[in-house]
C-alpha cells in the first residue's frame, strides 16, 4: 500500500479496463480485498476498486447458471437460485468459506482470479466444467475455467477482468460431493479439498489444497468411466495425488476418496 497514489471506483467494466490497461496508473484490481488486500505489491500505484461494477447478478440465462464475479460468498450462500442448482452445492460451498465477516466481503471473482491452494471455488469450477467470461483489451472472451488455469497470457486482475462465471445446464440436477477437511469449520486453510462428480460418462475427481493449483485425477476419471474395478480407480487416484503431495494430507485425500467410492 505504501506507493498507492490513486483510488479509482469505476462504475463500468470499460472504465475499469481502461485504467487497468493504462500503464500510467500501474493499477491493481481489488474487490473484497480479503485475500491480497494486505499484501499489495510495491509496484502498484492505483487501487482499482471494482465493487461498483455491474457484475453482481445471479441469474439463469440460456439454461446456464450465471454468477457475476462481484457476487460475495454471502450472496451465493443466500441466493435462492444457487440453492436450487445442483442440490444447493454452490451455497453449501460458499457457506463453508471462512467466517461470516469474510463471506460478506470476499467475492467469487477474487477467489478464482488469484487461485490460492486453499481457495475452494477453483476446485468447484473445475469439477463442474464451468466457463468464465473475461473482459480483455480485445473484447469479451468466453473460455473454460480449466483453460484459464493453464493459460499463461491471461492474468485476471493484471491484464483482464473476470466478469461472469457460467455453470453448464446439465449440472443443474447433478449430484456432487464436496469435502473440506480443515482444523475448524471456519478455517480458511484446509488440509484437503475434494470435489467429486460420479457422472458415468464424464466423472470428475478434483483435488485442492495439496498443490498451488487444483488438479484432476484424470487417469482415475478414465478408469471410472470405463467401469474398472474400484481398486484400480483408487490406485490411479493415489498415483495422481502422490505426484503432487506426500504425507498425511495426501493419505487423507486417498482415504476420503475410498470412502466416497464405498471401498472402505
Partner 1 sequence: MKNEEIIHADEDGFFTIALNVNGELGHMIVSRNETLVEALRHYGWKGTKKGCDTGDCGSCTVLFNNKPVLGCMMPAVAAHGGNITTIEGLGTVRNPHPIQQAFVEAGAVQCGFCIPGMILSTKALLDKNPEPSEADIRKALDGNLCRCTGYVTQVQAVRIAAKKVKAMKKQQEKLAAKELAAEKRKAARKTAKKAAKKNK
| Residues binding partner 1 (CB under 8 A) | 1-2, 4-11, 15, 18-19, 30, 33-34, 37-38, 47, 49, 74, 95, 98-102, 104-105, 185-186
What whole-number distance in Å separates Cα of residue 132 and Cα of residue 142?
6
SS percent in the chain: helix, strand, coil, step 5: 35, 25, 40
| Distance, first Cα to last Cα, the chain | 51
SS (H, E, C) 43-105: CCCEEEECCCCCCCCEEEECCEEEEECCCEHHHHHHCHHHHHCHHHHHHHHHHCCCCHHHHHH
What whole-number distance in Å separates Cα of residue 63 and Cα of residue 123?
22
Cell of 189: 486453510
Q: Are strands 215-216 and 64-68 parallel, antiparallel or unpaired?
A: unpaired
Among the listed residues 4, 102, 110, the one whose alpha carbon sits nearest the alpha carbon of residue 51 = 110
- Residue 160 gets the label, from left (phi > 0), alpha (psi -120 to 50) or beta, of beta
Q: Beta-carbon neighbour count of residue 190 at 10 Å?
A: 22
What whole-number distance in Å separates Cα of residue 221 and Cα of residue 21?
40
Phi and psi (nearest 5°) for 48?
A: -95, 100
Output DSSP code: residue 160.
B
Amino acid at each position: 500500500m505504501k506507493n498507492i497514489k490513486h483510488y479509482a471506483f469505476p462504475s463500468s467494466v470499460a472504465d475499469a479496463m481502461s485504467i487497468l490497461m493504462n500503464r500510467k496508473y500501474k493499477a491493481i484490481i481489488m474487490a473484497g480485498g480479503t485475500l491480497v488486500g494486505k499484501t499489495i505489491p510495491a509496484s502498484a500505484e492505483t487501487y482499482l476498486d471494482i465493487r461498483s461494477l455491474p457484475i453482481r447478478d445471479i441469474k439463469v440465462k440460456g439454461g446456464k447458471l450465471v454468477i457475476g464475479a462481484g457476487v460475495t460468498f454471502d450472496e451465493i450462500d443466500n441466493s435462492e437460485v444457487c440453492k436450487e442448482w445442483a442440490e444447493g452445492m454452490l451455497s453449501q460451498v460458499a457457506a463453508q468459506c471462512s467466517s461470516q465477516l469474510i463471506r460478506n466481503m470476499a467475492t467469487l471473482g477474487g477467489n478464482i482470479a488469484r487461485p490460492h491452494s486453499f481457495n475452494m471455488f477453483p476446485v468447484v469450477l473445475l469439477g463442474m466444467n464451468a466457463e468464465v467470461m473475461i473482459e480483455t483489451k480485445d473484447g469479451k472472451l468466453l473460455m473454460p475455467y480449466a483453460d484459464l488455469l493453464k493459460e499463461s497470457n491471461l492474468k485476471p486482475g493484471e491484464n483482464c477482468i473476470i466478469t461472469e462465471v457460467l455453470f453448464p445446464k446439465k449440472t443443474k440436477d447433478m449430484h456432487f460431493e464436496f469435502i473440506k477437511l480443515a482444523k475448524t469449520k471456519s478455517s480458511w486453510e484446509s488440509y484437503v479439498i475434494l470435489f467429486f462428480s460420479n457422472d458415468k460418462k464424464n466423472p470428475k475427481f478434483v483435488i485442492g489444497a495439496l498443490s498451488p493449483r487444483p488438479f484432476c485425477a484424470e487417469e482415475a476419471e478414465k478408469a471410472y468411466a470405463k467401469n474398472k474395478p474400484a481398486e484400480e480407480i483408487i490406485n490411479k487416484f493415489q498415483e495422481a495425488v502422490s505426484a503432487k503431495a506426500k504425507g498425511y494430507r495426501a493419505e487423507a485425500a486417498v482415504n476420503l476418496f475410498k470412502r466416497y467410492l464405498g471401498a472402505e
